[in-house]
Structure 1
Amino acid sequence: MSAKKSKGFKKEAGTGKMKSIKGEKPEIEYRFYNPIDTKYILYSEIFKKGSDFEKNINLLFSRLIPEISSERSENKGKHLDFVIKEFDNFKNKLQIFSLLSSRRESFIKSLEDVGFISRGFSALCQWRLIIGLGGVHPEETSMTLHHIYGIPYIPGSAVKGVTRHWAVLKFADRSGQDVNRISNALENGENLDIEVEGIKFSDLIEIFGTQGKVGRVIFMDAYPLREDAINLKIDIMNPHYPDYYSGKQPPADWQNPNPIKFLTVEKTHFQFYLISQDSSLLQKSEVLLKEALGKFGIGAKTSLGYGIFEI
Structure 2
Amino acid sequence: MNADRGQPRRQGPANAEAGGVTLEYPLQKEALAAWRQMLQSNRPLNAGLIFDRFVANTGDPLARAGGRARGQDAKGQAWGELVAVSSRADGNLLQALLARWRAIAQAAGATPFTLRTDWRLVAGLGRGGPLEAGFTFGRHGFPFLPASSLKGLARAYGLRQLAQQLKLSRLNLEGAGEAQSQRLGKLAKLEKALMDEGELAKAWAKAGLPQPVPPLAHDWRAIFGTTAMAGGAIFLDGLPTKPPTLALDVMNPHYPGYYQGDAFPDDSQSPRPIRFLTVDKDNEFTFAVGWRDVVEDEGGRRLRLAADWLRQGLMRLGAGGKTSAGYGYFV
TM-score normalised by length of structure 2: 0.73
Distance in 2 (CA, whole Å) between partners of 1:283 and 1:251 is 49
Radius of gyration: which is bigger?
1
| Runs of at least 5 residues in structure 2 that lack an aligned partner in the other structure | 1-23, 170-185
Residue 160 (structure 1) aligned to one of 151, 163, 167: 151
CA contact (8 A) 1:73 1:261 kept: no
Residue 135 (structure 2) aligned to one of 132, 143, 154: 143
User: Which residue number in structure 1 is paired with residue 318 of structure 2?
Assistant: 297
CA contact (8 A) 1:194 1:201 kept: no
1:149-180 Cα distance to aligned partner (Å, 9 max, x none): 10001111111011112222333344215222
Residue type at the aligned position of 2:48: N
CA contact (8 A) 1:124 1:269 kept: yes
User: Which residue number in structure 2 is paired with residue 84 of structure 1?
Assistant: 83
Instruction: For residue 186 of structure 1, report the CA deviation from its aligned partner.
Output: 3.0
Distance in 1 (CA, whole Å) between partners of 2:197 and 2:115 is 31
Specify whether residues 95 and 194 from structure 1 end up closer, same or farther in structure 2 by C-alpha distance, changes over 3 A only: farther
Alignment of 1:223 with 2:239, yes or no, is yes
CA contact (8 A) 1:189 1:205 kept: no
Residue type at the aligned position of 2:121: L
User: Which residue number in structure 1 is paired with residue 94 of structure 2?
Assistant: 97
Distance in 2 (CA, whole Å) between partners of 1:204 and 1:46 is 51
Residue 184 (structure 1) aligned to one of 175, 182, 192: 192
Distance in 2 (CA, whole Å) between partners of 1:165 and 1:74 is 41
Instruction: For residue 253 of structure 1, report the CA deviation from its aligned partner.
Output: 2.2
Residue 123 (structure 1) aligned to one of 115, 118, 139: 115
Aligned residues: 264
CA contact (8 A) 1:73 1:259 kept: no
SS of structure 2 residue aligned to 1:275: strand
CA contact (8 A) 1:189 1:209 kept: no
Distance in 2 (CA, whole Å) between partners of 1:295 and 1:206 is 23
Superposition RMSD on alpha carbons, in Å?
2.4
Residue type at the aligned position of 2:276: F
Instruction: For residue 235 of structure 1, report the CA deviation from its aligned partner.
Output: 0.5
SS of structure 2 residue aligned to 1:118: coil
CA contact (8 A) 2:245 2:280 kept: yes
User: Which residue number in structure 2 is paired with residue 107 of structure 1?
Assistant: 104
Alignment of 1:42 with 2:31, yes or no, is yes
- The structure whose residues are more often strand, as a share, is 1
User: Which residue number in structure 1 is paired with residue 44 of structure 2?
Assistant: 54
SS of structure 2 residue aligned to 1:123: strand
Distance in 1 (CA, whole Å) between partners of 2:54 and 2:322 is 26
